[in-house]
Amino acid sequence: MIPFSREEREWFLRNLARGLVEYFGRAEPPVQVEDMLLQPPPLYDADFGLVEMYSNLWDATFARPPSQRGSIFVRSDLPTAERRFALAREMLSALITSKHGRAMGLPELLLPHLRESAEYFARYLLVPELMLDAYRKQGGKKLGFADTFQIPLQIAAVRWAD
């Protein structure tokens, strides 16, 4: 594959996130990431499972057991904002490894930069550009930003500055 810049990759990721938000028709924060996983587009029926687990090892991780549905395994005791971000981040792995994602060529493009790509994707899935623009136009401030979009404070700081 031809090498692409970070800026080009981020443009692509923003549009993937936008496509999902538009599919679910959500116009106001918070984006319901859990609903996306529980009622996925038919294309991802075999990829968007959700499994609660008791663990102190990870917040969430995506796994696809051989010949089984791919699922995000998430710690059941995470605070809401952390849980939402972890699910959104791991959703990119579900997309990349899905049949459709492989047909699109997502693994070649995104796997070499998975962690960085997944966190960027999650920020734009939970805070789409249009919603952030609307929030700012309505006088929304940085102070209430994390609460409104239900994202962790440190993620809010990064997204506000994106």
Partner 1 sequence: MSMQALNQLVARSIVEPNIVKSFASGQIDEMIGDLEFSPELRKRLAGLEAGTFAEFAMLAYRVVKAAEVPVRRIELPSPVEGLLDDQSQSDSEQVA
Residues at the site binding partner 1, with contacts judged by CB under 8 A: 1-2, 4, 8-9, 11-12, 15-16, 18-20, 22-23, 41, 43, 95, 100, 103-106, 108-109
| Residue 60 backbone zone (phi > 0: left; psi -120 to 50: alpha; other: beta) | beta
CB of 99 to partner 1, least distance (A): 9
Q: Which of 105/144 has CB closer to partner 1? A: 105
Do residues 89 and 121 touch, judged by C-beta distance below 8 A? yes
Residue 121 to residues 46, 83, 128: CA-CA distances in angstroms? 21, 15, 10
CB of 21 to partner 1, least distance (A): 9
Do residues 136 and 160 touch, judged by C-beta distance below 8 A? no
Do residues 129 and 122 touch, judged by C-beta distance below 8 A? no
Q: Which of 124/145 has CB closer to partner 1? A: 124
Q: Which of 69/99 has CB closer to partner 1? A: 99
CB of 48 to partner 1, least distance (A): 12
CB of 134 to partner 1, least distance (A): 18
Q: Which of 59/116 has CB closer to partner 1? A: 116
Tell me which residue of 60, 64, 29, 51 sits closest to 149, measured CA to CA: 29
